[in-house]
Amino acid sequence: HLSIRRQRQMCIRDSQIQQATLTPKLWKNITIRGRLITNPVMFNVLKKRTASLDIPDCVWRANPQEEIEMENYLILNAPKLTYLGLQGFGGNNALVATLILLSTDLATLDLSEADFTLLSHVLNKINRTNHITAINLSIVKKSPQNRQPTALYERYSPVRANIIADLTTKCIQLTDLVLMGTDLSQDSIVQICHLVTPTLVAINLARECIKDEHVDALTKRCPNMKYINLSETRISCRIFPKIATRWKYSMRDLSLPEQFARQLKLFSDFGPFERREEFQTLVNSMPRMERLHVGHYCFHLTVLIIAINRMMKCTKDIDKNSNLGFPRLVKDHQIFLKSADKHQRYINSTLFLLNSL
């Protein structure tokens, strides 16, 4: 038997725990990783008026009756979410799409490494009244039956223009967009560069099949761009004068592909001196530029990262924490450059060397 003193101590502790769980601040930001989420759990989260919900690698499943109950609750009680992280999400895509549709205050949506069908459900269901300003669609997964042979992959990429059309026509308040590794088709890239909302100020297009004409169109469409990542794209140094001219007073953080360094021979005592001097002059003409990255997307393969101070003196400074324009999203998704991806790159390079012998 417990003493009276011990019983009082336990009652006080239980009361403190109960008061802590009832504190609204405790439920303001919720993170659940790699778990099976049930309807009662989601009901509790939503009832507490959570503002930030991050559920990476989670599965949310509901039977038909539970799905109807959840939809009715969402209709009667609009969620107060401003941030929703669905990285690698699995489960009921239609139910999640309904949650996003009815979250009228939602500003940031992270669908990185999520299934392609979830992206389709979300873009099909949302309308132009949404207030989403930042979307992360990096490395959207495709089901095996949607993967095409290499020769046909670019043309028959699952992320086609009709899906991107929903993004460009419905998300009219976008400022930040991450499309790294999404494997966009050429039609989708044209849709993004010609029709994306002009409010866009930050975009990550690394590892996409972006060409000079696409960047040319984007410079005209979005005149206030502050951040753009073009690492591992197909652009050439011929497009840089247009970038430097049209984004002269807005650009702050610029990432260019490694071939820029090869074309201009930035680390050689020989080469196209005039083009190299022109490149330096154009960089120095951008008064608000803070960071210039030339090289691969993966930072350990970087050719050059330059931090440019207000006095316009260039110094090497590897800045992995720069997150300009992406207050809630991870701008450079190093965590998604997994060992399998690096191993596949090693295999591809080895096969290329063997075939060239």
Give pLDDT tens digits for 96-127: 999 999 999 999 999 988 888 888 889 989 99
Rounded mean pLDDT of 304-312? 45
70 pLDDT tier (thresholds 50, 70, 90): very high
Q: Is the pLDDT of residue 341 over 60?
A: no
203 pLDDT tier (thresholds 50, 70, 90): very high
pLDDT value of position 268 = 66
330 pLDDT tier (thresholds 50, 70, 90): very low
Tokens of 273: 């001196």
Return d(Cα 158, Cα 114) in angstroms, integer: 14
Q: Locate tokens 């951040």: which residue?
A: 227
- The secondary structure element, H or E, covering residue 183 is none
Q: Coil, strand or helix: which one is 274? A: helix
Beta strands across the sheet bearing 36-37: 36-37, 59-60, 90-91
Return d(Cα 30, Cα 332) in angstroms, integer: 23
Amino acid of residue 119: L
CA-nearest of 227, 229, 225 to 299 is 229
**What single-letter DSSP state applies at residue 137?**
-
Backbone angles phi, psi at 91, to 5 degrees: 130, -145
Return d(Cα 324, Cα 255) in angstroms, integer: 12
pLDDT averaged over every residue in the chain: 77
Higher pLDDT, 3 or 216: 216
Tokens of 221: 């469409």
Q: Is the pLDDT of residue 260 over 90?
A: no
Q: How far is CA 312 from CA 262, 286, 291, 292, in A?
A: 24, 9, 11, 12
Return d(Cα 4, Cα 1) in angstroms, integer: 9
pTM attached to this predicted model: 0.77
Q: Are 261 and 295 in contact (CB under 8 A)?
A: yes
pLDDT value of position 223 = 95
Rounded mean pLDDT of 302-315? 44
Q: Are 58 and 89 in contact (CB under 8 A)?
A: yes
Tokens of 24: 């609204």
For residue 236, give every residue at least 6 positions away whose Cβ sits within 8 Å of its Cβ, in sequence order, or none. 212, 259, 263
Q: Are 336 and 297 in contact (CB under 8 A)?
A: no
CA-nearest of 219, 217, 213, 167 to 188 is 167
CA-nearest of 293, 284, 286 to 313 is 284
| Span 38-54, pLDDT tens digits | 888 899 888 888 999 99
pLDDT value of position 116 = 81
Burial class (CB in 10 A: 0-12, 13-18, 19+), 251: buried
Q: Coil, strand or helix: which one is 135? A: strand
Q: Is the pLDDT of residue 185 over 70?
A: yes
Return d(Cα 117, Cα 119) in angstroms, integer: 5
CA-nearest of 196, 203, 264 to 229 is 203
Higher pLDDT, 8 or 180: 180
Q: Coil, strand or helix: which one is 37? A: strand
